[in-house]
Structure 1
Amino acid sequence: MSEKHIDEISGVSTTGHEWDGIKELDNPMPRWWVWTFYGTIVWALAYTIAYPAWPMISSATKGVLGYSSRQELSTTLEAVSAEQASLRTAIAEKPLEEILGDETLRRFATSAGSAAFKVNCSQCHGSGAQGAAGYPNLNDDDWLWGGDIESIHQTIAHGIRAEGDDDTRISDMPAFGDILSPEEIKQVAAHVVSFTGTPSDAALAEAGAQVYADNCAACHGEQGKGDISVGAPNLADAIWLYGSSEADIAAQVRLPKQGVMPAWQARLGDPAVKQLSVYIYSLGGGQ
């Protein structure tokens, strides 16, 4: 075995390793570092004895302290549930206006309603309640049945054209393809476009005014402003469920699409429906 090389400057032997003429001194590790290292070993061994650690075939060692992360989670959830019990009871018992007037209840209902919305409503109305083609945007001020808190609650609770619910909202538009001629449908579509824009043919729109007055004004109003009492949409704004072009409007007049919304009262219960109502109302589109 060859003798260790002694560094001429420091007088310390080297490890025998050399890289491009550079040699590593064989200095001992600092004592504080060595004892810290030994301490981590002792700590690791003590931890595996005190807490669940070593895997076995179908379980793991329990640890002498009997700690369980699952039990800790269960205890925490029970404590949170107990704290929220009084809030849930208050929401179940109080009318919606009182819930809105109580800051604590309103914030709790909004938070719980947001979670319920993501699970039950976002599939149609979008994660941000922005809606999509055929599904209403819940952030705007355009409401078929009214945007006050009670109207929102009624719509959520009993749905729209929901089978099996006697209190569901119903507003079926007739299929005018069986009532009006193709030319009359073109005329009334052009007239409806004239409420908010420029029709393709002014003569068609003018002729459609009488067709509209005879067949549509009873529900949508003479100026196309709609009627929330019967769920008739406002035709004089820029918000459309099924498209705003003359072709889209003519198609809806000819054979209208009739959306269906489930009745959530029986599925979720009244407290959850109240929470959903408060959350949707909080989005800013409510009246």
Structure 2
Amino acid sequence: MANEESVPRVDEVTGTETSGHEWDGIEELDTPMPRWWLYTLYATIVWGVIYVVLYPAWPLVTQATEGVLGWSSRSELAEQLAQADKGRSQLREQLAYIPIERLPDNSALMQQAVAGGAAAFKVNCVQCHGSGAAGSKGYPNLNDDDWLWGGDLKAIEYTLVHGIRQQGDDETRMSIMPPFAGVFEPAQLNALVDHVLSLSGKAQPNAAGAQIYADNCAVCHGAIGQGSRELGAPQLNDAIWLYGSSRAEVTAQILAPQLGMMPKWAGRLDPVTIKMLAAYVHSLGGGEDFVEVAENPAKMVDEQP
């Protein structure tokens, strides 16, 4: 049992006075705290008092005590946000001034535009093109170098501004493939599919299908399936297929073509944000150098076959 009435004594081994408490013959030493620990404690108490006086500390009903310095984390945050807004305003002014085809000449500005475009892409574009811009069936992959109307900065910007097959916009990207349902006999259709697949090495050449292709398809898709950017006709002699490359999928596309649509972003996004989006898409890996050859800018785009 503890003996609370014991008279403190000095321990012979340690030379330290006991506290007077004893439990089953075990006595408690009354060892004083180290001086450094006490000094640290006193310093923290003093600092706490000073902090309460200088800075906001005690919460009240609608606010906290302000402190004699009048500092607040909200005012500091507001100042930091104002500085960030000023920096963004300067960046946006530079982007608004520079023609997009000259953007690569300023590497620092280009990097900032790409970063801003990446953020805008996550908000506005991932729903269709995916978080990695790899697309899916019916939605173009923006990472490769296969472009329906062209893949330079100016072409991509034009597509973003006017969209693809957008009603009410006379300058929208527009290409139409007519349906061939009821036009060919089954044997003719099979021969044509054989030839189309042979252009990318997926089937053996078919002479009859080649003639049908030359009579009906080559005017848009080219004699060897190279496509036409002027007409927005997809390339058929590569391994990239927007709606699938199986025999059934190619047949379905010939009989009843699927025609994709992309919204125009003019009016939804400001011109600078659109320019940043174009820079980001261009940076994904398939972007082309700008070549000033087209008389009509409507002949270039970021959609793929």
When normalised by structure 2's length, the TM-score is 0.82
Shift of 1:8: 4.6
When residues 273 and 18 of structure 1 are mapped into structure 2, their CA distance, relative to the original with a 3 A threshold, is farther
Alignment correspondent of 2:221:
220
Aligned-pair RMSD on alpha carbons? 2.6
Q: Secondary structure at the match of 1:186?
A: helix
1:133 aligns with 2:141: no
Identity over aligned residues, as a percent? 51
- Offset of residue 25 of structure 1: 4.4
**Structure 2 vs 1, CA of residues 112 and 184 (structure 1 numbering), >3 Å: closer, same or farther?**
same
Give the Å deviation of 1:187.
2.7
Kept in 2, the 8 Å contact 1:99–1:106? The answer is: yes
Deviations 1:69-126 (A, max 9, x none): 2222222222233234333223212211222212232222222222222221122212
The residue that corresponds to 1:259 in the other structure is: 260
The range that moved more, 101-110 or 45-54, is: 45-54
Moved beyond 4 Å, runs of 4+: 4-8, 13-19, 21-25
How has the CA–CA distance of structure 1 residues 139 and 13 changed in structure 2, closer, same or farther, with 3 Å as cutoff? same
Secondary structure at 1:112 match in 2: helix
Residue 250 of structure 1 and its aligned partner are, at CA, apart by 1.1
Q: CA deviation at 1:52?
A: 2.7
Report the TM-score when normalising by structure 1: 0.87
Q: Which amino acid aligns with 2:161?
A: A
User: Residues 10 and 108 (structure 1 numbering): CA distance in 2 closer, same or farther, change over 3 Å?
Assistant: same
Structure 1: runs of 5+ lacking an equivalent: none
- Shift, 1:285, TM fit: 0.6
SS of residue in 1 equivalent to 2:282 = helix
2:67 pairs with 1:57: no
- From 83, 90, 94, the equivalent of 1:86 is 90
CA shift at 1:2, angstroms? Answer: 4.6
**Which digits, 9 at most, give the CA deviation of each residue in 1:231-277, with x for residues without a partner?**
11111111111111111111221222211111112211222211211
State how 1:60-79 maps to structure 2 within 5 Å.
60-79=64-83
For residues 217 and 232 of structure 2, the distance between their equivalents in structure 1, rounded to whole angstroms, comes to 13
What is the alpha-carbon distance in structure 1 between the residues aligned to residue 17 and residue 183 of structure 2? 107
Offset at 1:14? 5.7
CA distance in 1, matches of 2:18, 2:227: 93
Residues 25/218 of structure 1: CA separation in 2 closer, same or farther (3 Å cut): farther
Structure 2 match to 1:245:
246
Matches of 1:18 and 1:182 in 2, distance apart?
104
More off after superposition, 127-136 vs 140-149: 127-136
* Aligned residue number for residue 234 of structure 2: 233
Report if aligned partners of 1:185, 1:254 keep a CA contact under 8 Å in 2. Answer: no
Residue in structure 1 matched with residue 284 of structure 2 by the alignment: 283
Summarize the alignment of residues 63-212 of structure 1 with structure 2, pairs less than 5 Å apart: 63-199=67-203, 202=204, 205-212=206-213
Q: CA deviation at 1:36?
A: 0.8
Q: State how many pairs are aligned.
A: 283
Per-residue deviation, residues 4-51 of structure 1 (Å, max 9, x unmatched): 6865521335665879x9976442211111121232233234324433
| 231-240 or 188-197, which deviates more | 188-197
Whole-angstrom CA distance in 2 between matches of 1:193 and 1:24? 93
Q: Which has the higher helix share?
A: 1
